[in-house]
Amino acid sequence: MEIDKAITQSDDERLKTKYKNAIFVIRRALALYSIEEVAFSFNGGKDSTVLLHLLRAGHYLHQKGESHTNQGGPIDHVEFPMRTIYFETASTFTEINSFTYETASTYGLQMDIIRLDFKSGLEALLKANPVKAIFLGVRIGDPTAVGQEQFSPSSPGWPPFMRVNPILDWSYRDVWAFLLTSKVQYCSLYDQGYTSIGSIHDTVPNDLLCTRNTKDGKISFKPAYLLPDGRLERAGRARKSSAPASAKSTAVSNGDAKAVDINHNILFTASVIAVGDEFLSGTVEDKLGASLCKKLHTLGWAVSQISIVRNDIDSVAEEVERRKGTSDMVFIYGAVGPLHSDVTVAGVAKAFGVRTMAQLPEGITELLHHEKLLMPLVKAAQPLSKLRLEFPDLYIGCYRESRDGPLIVSLQGKDQARTEAAAEALRKKLESGVLH
């Protein structure tokens, strides 16, 4: 098999190790599931192109056995029997579409074309043709990779299937080492300076690959595999501005004059989420948001949106879910700590379908009796949690107006007597002099 032969005969020991491990994952999956029970999600990008050829090699080795390795000649046109899913949208690059369909023809891919969003399309597809496992080209560093392993069940709320991630631990360098060593075709956009391809609305050539001809001043871009630092592969996923034409300037790219956005040089975009009922009620002014935006701007980041959500796990999870696919980074603050109202950690975990870690590690009990910390959060957590159980009809909030300011406990309810009773109960739970 030509892929297996090219990699195993390579002098790149790291690549051979990555290849061997990925093939093991693929063969393990094919041992657990029949070929009719698995599918491959292909999007025409570099990662899924790598996965396609790994699956071809893995299926070949699984069928023929190790004893047949390297004995076959080139079989570029042998059909690939695994069901392939392709999500096509109006915002897909024409080059990606062309490459995908050409690849399907070359390797005989049995493609299911879906023109819905990923979740809705997957639900409809699996309802009509159930599969038990889907191979994905997810790598560490991808927005969707958080909490995933090489075999990970689908997230809550999604159709049930096993996510199989053979290249989860591959780097940008590994991807290009495989493509160039195997000498397989990849989408032409990667030769035009694109390093990470999303939709036509959020993808531009990576400025780190930009070059200017000293004689005529024309701008061009080096191919993606020449990016010196693979950690910056998503630097080309800048948000294109929706500003009117008057806000655009004319530049030269690849020798052609065209309008480009004034934000073309912005490398990353961010969303900011503030969590706190106090912000929404106007009790506390959100000063951190403005400070964070100013700091990000000085670093060359563009903040696309700031939102404020309630102290509620589902509210946090839903907002993180909305934002994580539209920005390079999501910054979230507020409601982070051990109090009953601190729901941010649990909300983020729910959005990514992972477990939360312990909020208070062992050995932290000395903070409860620290002389200089009159009212640390960990000291208030247990009494407030008990108070919440005793007075479920009251809203119990906890916040600071400034970083070094006192901890303020807010008790709100319709019955004044109940509110006063809760305040008195809290005084009894805390040390004398702590509560003012």
What does the alpha-carbon distance between residue 225 and residue 219 come to, in Å, rounded to a whole number? Answer: 18
Domain ranges of the chain: 2-182, 204-260, 267-359, 362-436
Q: What angle do CA 105, 116, 86 make, to 5 degrees?
A: 20
Query: Residue 60 corresponds to which tokens in the numbers above?
Result: 């070949």
Write the CB contacts of 221 (distance below 8 Å, at least 6 apart in sequence): 192, 193, 205, 206, 209, 210, 211, 254
Q: How many CA atoms lie within 13 A of 288 on its CB side?
A: 17
| Helix or strand (DSSP H, E) at 7 | helix 2-8
217 C-beta neighbours (distance < 10 Å), count: 9
The CATH number of 362-436 is 3.30.70
- What's the fold here for domain 2-182? Rossmann fold (3.40.50)
Query: Residue 96 corresponds to which tokens in the numbers above?
Result: 């990606």
User: DSSP string of 288-340?
Assistant: HHHHHHHHHHHTTEEEEEEEEE-S-HHHHHHHHHHHHTTSSEEEEESS-SSST
- Residue 404 has a pLDDT of 65
What does the alpha-carbon distance between residue 162 and residue 153 come to, in Å, rounded to a whole number? Answer: 4
Place of tokens 């563009």: 302
- Residue 178 has a pLDDT of 96
Write the CB contacts of 359 (distance below 8 Å, at least 6 apart in sequence): 337, 338, 342, 345
Helix (H, G, I), strand (E, B) or coil at 350: helix
- Residue 18 has a pLDDT of 95
C-alpha distances (whole Å) from 325 to each of 20, 119, 137, 318 are 32, 13, 17, 12
**From the centroid of its chain, how far is CA 324?**
6
- Residue 408 has a pLDDT of 78
What does the alpha-carbon distance between residue 210 and residue 98 come to, in Å, rounded to a whole number? Answer: 25
* Superfamily of domain 267-359 in the CATH hierarchy: MoaB/Mog-like domain (3.40.980.10)
What does the alpha-carbon distance between residue 135 and residue 52 come to, in Å, rounded to a whole number? Answer: 9
Give pLDDT tens digits along the chain (436 positions).
789 999 999 999 999 999 999 999 999 999 999 998 999 999 999 999 999 999 999 998 888 764 444 444 444 445 678 889 998 888 899 999 999 999 999 998 988 888 877 788 888 888 878 889 999 999 987 877 777 889 999 888 888 899 999 999 999 999 999 999 999 999 999 999 999 998 888 899 998 899 988 888 889 999 999 998 888 888 877 544 443 333 333 323 233 322 233 334 445 788 899 998 888 888 888 888 888 888 887 777 788 889 999 888 888 888 888 887 677 788 898 876 555 566 888 888 777 766 554 444 444 344 444 444 444 454 556 677 777 788 888 877 776 666 666 777 888 888 899 999 988 888 887 766 555 5
Our separate counts of H helices and E strands in the chain read: 12, 15
Q: Comparing C-alpha atoms, which of 198, 195, 193, 225 is closest to residue 209?
A: 193
